[in-house]
Amino acid sequence: MNTGLTVDERVGKLLSQMTLTEKVGQMNQINNLGLDHGDVIREGRVGSALYASSATAGNVRDAGVDLDNLNAIQKMAVEQSRLGIPLLFARDVIHGHRTVFPVPIAQASSWCPELVEKAASIAAKEAAANGIRWTFTPMLDICRDPRWGRITEGFGEDPCLCSRLAASAVRGYQGDDLSDPLKIAACAKHFAGYGGAEGGRDYNTTDIGYRSFRDIFLPPFMAAANEGIASIMAAFNEIDGVPALANKHMLTEILRNEWKFDGVLISDWNAVCELIDHGIVQDKREAAFISLMSGLDMDMVSGTFIAELPSLVDEGKLSIEPVDAAVKRILSLKFKLGLFERPFVDKTLGKKVVLTPENRACALALAQKSMVLLKNDGILPLKKDIKRILLTGEFARSRTELFGTWTLDGRSEETGSVEEALSQRLPDGVHMDVHINYPDEIVRMARSTDVVIACIGEHPGRSGEANSIVSLDLPPGQLERLKAIADMGIPIVAVVFAGRPLAINWLSKRAAAVLYAWHPGIEGGRAIAEILFGDVEPGGRLPVTFPRATGQIPIYYNHKPTGRPLPPSLKEYGRYNDCLDQPLYPFGFGLSYTSFTYEKLEIVKNRIGTDDSIEVSCTVTNNGEREGEEVVQFYVRDCVASVTRPVKELKAFRRICLAPGEKRIINFTVPVAELSFTNINMKKTVEPGDFLFWIGPNSMEGLEGSFRVTVDGD
């Protein structure tokens, strides 16, 4: 019953009728809320329900969402509570609901904001049709340490790429009108710095310098806020001694006062209570008080707000203002979602929007564009002279393992294995054997084959939350059989499934080809078959640096020069006595089935004012006989500044498709303001001076030019 009032007016009117308990009830989220919670629902002591099985839901499959049950719970809230305020149902729809897309780090490998947006819009439709109107994604944690299992849930190591994809995800999930019954509220997480966990140990201390915090870890969240994201989730971790939920500078001064974010700020699972474990509060009462006063709106499943805030207000120890402010934001989100007009889910929606051919086509395209060809001695795409194939490896017959972590609703029967996809795609006259169990039998069979396709890598069960590892080597036992095959001179095409970069040194030297498939989702098997036989090319480019060895971590492209940059003579070897310094594969790297040439680098003006834009271009040519896609990347370096600056920073990129032999001029126009950083006085600013820039295929190659920024461009 839209009363013609504005959302703010409706919120104000409702708030004025609410008791203190009902207000704090809106700030309380309960997991797996059921009809057995009748009293809590009728008394208005819960505002949101989280469908998650456990504290680390990403690796624990639950029974899924029962729409009838959800509507029954909603009916109880709407018809039996005093004010009939609808519940907001939430679930981690991290990379698809029933149409499972590649894991987020794979999606980042596509460097294709349009596809990431489309995938998010499909995920929103399917989740909304299943009663879920709030998802806890995109995860925007910059991560430079693949030992941390949650690297798979984010968009990699770079703030520019991550920010672009953050905005795409927000647009996809939320659209232009949140009241659209097929749109859902997104949630940028984990605010902030969670990916900086020391040792890659999940939930660990982060000791991030304030400039890095501002210039590396925060930009993706700011991009999401600027795109109008409906909510943000505060992180578990501390930064330099201050846990996120006690960090008023971050949660209020930056988020609310600087960025003007007016959405809902929710804690992570039980994090309010965990302030006690952090050792900065004595008890739940203090935990509730400090997290509310720092800026938190909603308490995820700890029950601390509903237990402690009413008495704090009643005893005069807490004013009602911060409570009202939080409740206003929560009610505002519910009004914007149209929950008061349409609290119940139309059960007929599902069959119209779930697992449609269009959804699958998007999952296939995203999988194809996210797989990264890291090495190819020419064996790919498989040629006509290949008559016998041996398919092996733990993932050869996998189905749900292709989905990756945080797959709560994908179903095995709705996907296909690599074996099935290859069998369907086999050209006439080509025979494929499959053997994955006995290493000696694999080696024996390999002798009479033309190529071994080895589907190896890490199981999704050791990826994602609470899944840190100390070694990035391939899991035990996988290399030994491949070495036996390689020693017989049989070519190996390694298809690597993983949620993180692995140190695949041996593969990079001894495999004939390496295709990094990540955990590619519901159409992953088909994408691989079509790539191996050349129907499409692998389109991915790395969103994160691949190390040679775990001991190189942290290693990332946008590092500082130091006072002793490597001299050319040492460039290859660097500072380690026992390992080359350079990454195994650099940020932005990926091969295609054709090749590209970069030439004629140009800049419109090489003296540019601080209020102006950098306008550069170069000509890219497809040298091959087949159409190909390239991700053209634009990097800069600030040569001299009041603080040290990275040796390279991505500032723009574009995916292009060129016909065989086609030449195209690729232009980038980047506002000089994009060169701003947190300077010696902790102020975000652009400092005039000399810059280098590159346009190229990745962070280590490209055509180099220079320009100078002056105050007025003279």
Catalytically active residues are 268
CB of 50 to ligand GLC, least distance (A): 6
CB of 127 to ligand GLC, least distance (A): 14
Residues in a beta bridge with 375 = 514
| Contact by Cβ (8 Å): 229, 135 | no
Cβ proximity to ligand GLC: between 32 and 356 the closer is 32
Cβ proximity to ligand GLC: between 98 and 189 the closer is 189
Tracing tokens 């819009």 back to the chain, one arrives at 121
CB of 137 to ligand GLC, least distance (A): 8
| Contact by Cβ (8 Å): 119, 145 | no
- Residue 5, classed as helix, strand or coil, is coil
The CA distances from residue 631 to 175, 538, 577, 620, in Å, are 26, 12, 35, 11
> DSSP for 628-668?
EEEEEEEEEEE-S-SS---S-EEEEEEEEEE-TT-EEEEEE
Q: How far apart are CA 538 and CA 341, in angstroms?
A: 46
Cβ proximity to ligand GLC: between 35 and 55 the closer is 55
Cβ proximity to ligand GLC: between 64 and 609 the closer is 64
- Residue 419, classed as helix, strand or coil, is helix
CB of 306 to ligand GLC, least distance (A): 18
- Residue 191, classed as helix, strand or coil, is strand
Q: Long-range contacts made by residues 640-646, C-beta under 8 angstroms, separation at least 24? A: 640/689, 640/690, 641/677, 641/679, 641/687, 641/689, 642/679, 642/680, 642/681, 642/687, 643/211, 643/677, 643/678, 643/679, 643/680, 644/560, 644/561, 645/560, 645/677, 646/558, 646/559, 646/560
Cβ proximity to ligand GLC: between 287 and 515 the closer is 287
Q: Could you report how far apart the first and last alpha carbons of the chain are, in Å?
A: 60
Q: How far apart are CA 328 and CA 667, in angstroms?
A: 45
| Contact by Cβ (8 Å): 47, 90 | no
> DSSP for 20-34?
HHHHHHHTEEEET--
Cβ proximity to ligand GLC: between 59 and 610 the closer is 59
| Opening angle at CA 549, ends 190 and 58, nearest 5 | 30
CB of 483 to ligand GLC, least distance (A): 38
For 663, the token pair is 């030449």
Residues in a beta bridge with 456 = 496
Q: How far apart are CA 187 and CA 88, in angstroms?
A: 13
Cβ proximity to ligand GLC: between 235 and 492 the closer is 235
Tracing tokens 């981690």 back to the chain, one arrives at 92
Cβ proximity to ligand GLC: between 117 and 202 the closer is 202
Tracing tokens 């991009």 back to the chain, one arrives at 223
Task: Label residues 654-691 b or e (16+ Cβ within 10 Å = b).
Answer: ebeebeeeeebebbbebebeebbbbeeeeeeebbbeeb
Cβ proximity to ligand GLC: between 92 and 630 the closer is 92
- Residue 75, classed as helix, strand or coil, is helix
For 263, the token pair is 């959405």
Where on the chain is the footprint of ligand GLC (CB under 6 A)? Answer: 52, 55-57, 92, 136, 189, 268-269, 465
CB of 56 to ligand GLC, least distance (A): 6
Residue nearest to ligand GLC (CB): 136
CB of 420 to ligand GLC, least distance (A): 32
Q: How far apart are CA 222 and CA 110, in angstroms?
A: 22
- Residue 418, classed as helix, strand or coil, is helix
> DSSP for 266-321?
E--TTTTTHHHHHTS-SSHHHHHHHHHHHT--BEESS-HHHHHHHHHHHTTSS-HH
Cβ proximity to ligand GLC: between 88 and 349 the closer is 88
Cβ proximity to ligand GLC: between 189 and 519 the closer is 189
CB of 499 to ligand GLC, least distance (A): 14
Q: How far apart are CA 541 and CA 109, in angstroms?
A: 5
221's CB contacts (< 8 A; 6+ apart) are: 140, 166, 188, 191, 192, 232
